[in-house]
Structure 1
Amino acid sequence: MAGSTFYLEQYLDSLEDLPTELKSNFNKMHDLDKRNRDTMVQIDSSSDDYLRKVRDLSPSKRKQEMEKIQKMFKKAKEMSDDKVQIAIQTYELVDKHIRKLDADLAKFEAEMKEKGRLSQTESEEETEQEEEKKGKKKNLKDPKRKKAREEEKKQKKTKNSKADVSVTQTPFGILSVPQEVLDMPVDPNEPTYCLCGQVSYGEMIGCDNQDCPIEWFHFGCMSLTTKPKGKWYCPKCLPMFKKKK
């Protein structure tokens, strides 16, 4: 189980700074929330004061008072926007670690399956060698028996190579999905992404169309190895933005 220990140690190391980052983000959000509430109290007070004395104010003074209240509203909105941005960053921070864990689990399971296949192949080869020895003793000049064994070996190799990758048919073509991901137990509450309709794993890229119904896509399904520069649109949204240009 050395492989599982390696992945576990790596993942725990990546989590080392997570509690500190989360605590810092939550403290910032709490501070912004408190300042925003104080600002809203000031706005209520200033608005009541303005309504009481508005009849006695000159037009220029009324304008000054209104601009003062509007500035407070603008300040409150900016603080609310900052709080939302920190909340999004916090979500993405946690989601990044979840995706890494999913990817590590998929790799680990793939390695375990590969080791299992190798062990099975070695056992089969040993059995075949023993059978061959027995066969030679019985009939050293039997070409039909030898040919049948070679055909059987070819069929087993073809079967193993096809089992490595599964494909999903979509309106945009055939997308390859790692078999280890398909074999992972699915949490019914976990959201699915991409054109392949699978859970998040490995590297993901977000569509820059804010109204995209899917939002997130797997690098592999989009034939990407690195994040492209500038804005990126998924196959569903790209035709619409091409028309706009």
Structure 2
Amino acid sequence: AMATTPSTRALCEATCVVDRAIASWRARDGAIDDAQRRASRACETLVAPFVEARATGEDASRDASEAQRAVKALEKHHARLRALADARVKLAQATYDAVDDHITRLDKDLAAFERERGSAHRAGERTKFDLALAGEHGFEALTNAPSASPGSALASPGNPNEPRYCVCRSVSDGKMIGCDNDDCAIEWFHFACVGLNPNAEVKGKWICPPCRRKKR
């Protein structure tokens, strides 16, 4: 399982808040859109008889009070449409402000997280976050990992500040395999060191040799 730190928890929380804010905006914006369509249809329904009567030359026979009622209803629907438009603008602004606040928080948490990672690397430790991103068993090295051919980790000591992995206690060689035992003390291994082909697909759970020996 991936290690959880206060900053990673904060990152997850901020991301969830942003997702919820956007989902809420979409739902409420959709409701406003539906209300606007209903009000527009009501206006069309009110106007349609007068348009038809005018087209057929029957508008003079229309009762004046009926026309007055239609005008008042149209004014009411127009006010409703205007209020809905204002609500949509306010909702968009509120959502923007909420997302902006949490993105600011996210930026701060990311900076804190990077500082934690930097401290761990300077101490010669590895973080599970670095290693567990790319899959259940293996991962492609991060951009700051040295690129080399299989087995080169054994030939070169690398940067003394780089985190150390595997039974050989060397730096990453660009592709690693992770032990599926949650209690594994080493966790990540060079393919060559555990006798695996780096190009072969590992199916199912893979337990490293040290953990297999412990279980015997």
Normalized against structure 1, the TM-score is what?
0.36
More helix by share: 1
Structure with more relative contact order (C-alpha pairs < 8 Å, separation 6 or more): 2
Normalized against structure 2, the TM-score is what?
0.40
